[in-house]
Amino acid sequence: MGRLKRSVLRVALWLVACGALAGPVPIRIGVQAALTGGSSPMGVSMRNGIQLAVEEINASGGLLGRPLQLVERDDAGSPQQGVRAAEELVRLGRVVAVVGLVNSGVALASQPVYQAARLPVMIAVATVPELTRRYAGSTRNYMFRVAAADDLQAPLIVREALSAGYRRLAIFSDTTDYGREGAEGLVRALRQQGLRPVYQARFSLGERDMTGALAAARSTGAEAILTYAIGPELAAVANDADRLDWKVPLIGSWTLSMSNFIDNAGPNAEGARMVQSFLQDTHTPRGQAFVQAYLGRYHVRRIPSPVSAAQGYDAMLLLAAAIRQAGSTAPTAVVAALENLRQPVEGAITTYLRPFTSGDHEAIELSVPTIGRIEHGRIVPARMH
């Protein structure tokens, strides 16, 4: 090999080592999700929705001339693991923003890490109202949400129950922050209607024997059960009610649509009603395109949690729109753009027109949610009363 060729080769190798010939540096987006454990149908669906959005964005040229790259961390639905996941994304992940957060308790524990690091966070599943309001008085609030907050869901749940003619209502909720906040919201919504729950049951994650609480609720003359929990425990409620031969309606938050409720409860899940921001059996062209893309990309016939998937997808699209508008990944510029998005963003759930302001970081409004009903193992639209 001649001296000139060796020199050229050395320069080329040096450039590769420095990254000069490796193409544009990716924009790294963190994803914190419950990818294992009882909340995994939500976490995996959300992560997959985020991935779909990133693949679409990269296929059209990326952002600011750079591809997007996801950096994932599994928090397994544990607040302690959630804090570790957040710290890893902040310190080691070199991410410019985060999309995710499934469980409300995990999100409450994790978000101080992100706020202190001044990282924009798009909450795509967790619903406790405090999540977007804890830092509302700060110079910058880095928390945004694309999910129906609990103070929006609870009145819809109560309205559905009352419209069906039920007035003696029991509340079954888990002991997580999600269950506690949701149950309190249901009590407030009932109070606004001049009612009180006839019975309240609270149970820990992993509880599988609900017979005692169900028997107590039935003895009060409860006509329906309002729920705030996640799939495995909700299935225990439905299955134990069947063992007691109590055909009691279940009406609750969106988590009644989780696949591990529908599958574990089987026929006992039929007829359960829940608040939904998105249905797999959607009739909008954009929503149908998203569902078909999801089913084809992940080779499934049913999205484990359509709500989580669509919210993750839309949250990523909104974040991308903000980065594009800002012309930068600088956190303050991205937050300012999110609070004043000038162009509509067409998502799977809806078309977002200035979804956020400096004083309101909630993208899902009252006009978006509907009521779904389980029918033959699928979530179908239920007529709003």
DSSP run (H or E) holding 290: helix 285-298
- The span from the CA of 216 to the CA of 182, in Å, is 21
Question: Which residue, chain included where needed, has tokens 């409720």?
Answer: 261
> For position 23, what pLDDT does the model report?
83
Asked if 82 and 106 count as a contact pair (C-beta separation under 8 A), the reply is yes
Would you give the DSSP letter of residue 356? -
DSSP run (H or E) holding 232: helix 231-243
Asked if 318 and 29 count as a contact pair (C-beta separation under 8 A), the reply is no
Q: What is the dihedral of CA 218, 169, 157, 40, to 10 degrees?
A: -30
Model's pTM, two decimal places?
A: 0.90
Q: What's the one-letter identity of residue 183?
A: A
> For position 19, what pLDDT does the model report?
44
What are φ and ψ of residue 327, in 5° steps?
65, 25
- The span from the CA of 331 to the CA of 345, in Å, is 20
> For position 2, what pLDDT does the model report?
55
> For position 5, what pLDDT does the model report?
52
**Cβ atoms within 10 A of the Cβ of 340, count?**
13
Q: What's the one-letter identity of residue 163?
A: S
> For position 138, what pLDDT does the model report?
74
260 exposure class (CB count in 10 Å sphere: 0-12, 13-18, 19+)? buried
Per-residue pLDDT of the chain (385 residues; tens, 9 = 90+): 455 455 544 544 444 444 444 689 999 999 999 999 999 999 999 999 999 999 999 999 999 999 999 999 999 999 999 999 999 999 987 999 999 999 999 999 999 999 999 999 999 999 999 999 999 887 799 999 999 999 999 999 999 999 999 999 999 999 999 999 999 999 999 999 999 999 999 999 999 999 999 999 999 999 999 999 999 999 999 999 999 999 999 999 999 999 999 999 999 999 999 999 999 998 899 999 999 999 999 999 999 999 999 999 999 999 999 999 999 999 999 999 999 999 999 999 999 999 999 999 999 998 999 999 999 999 999 864 3
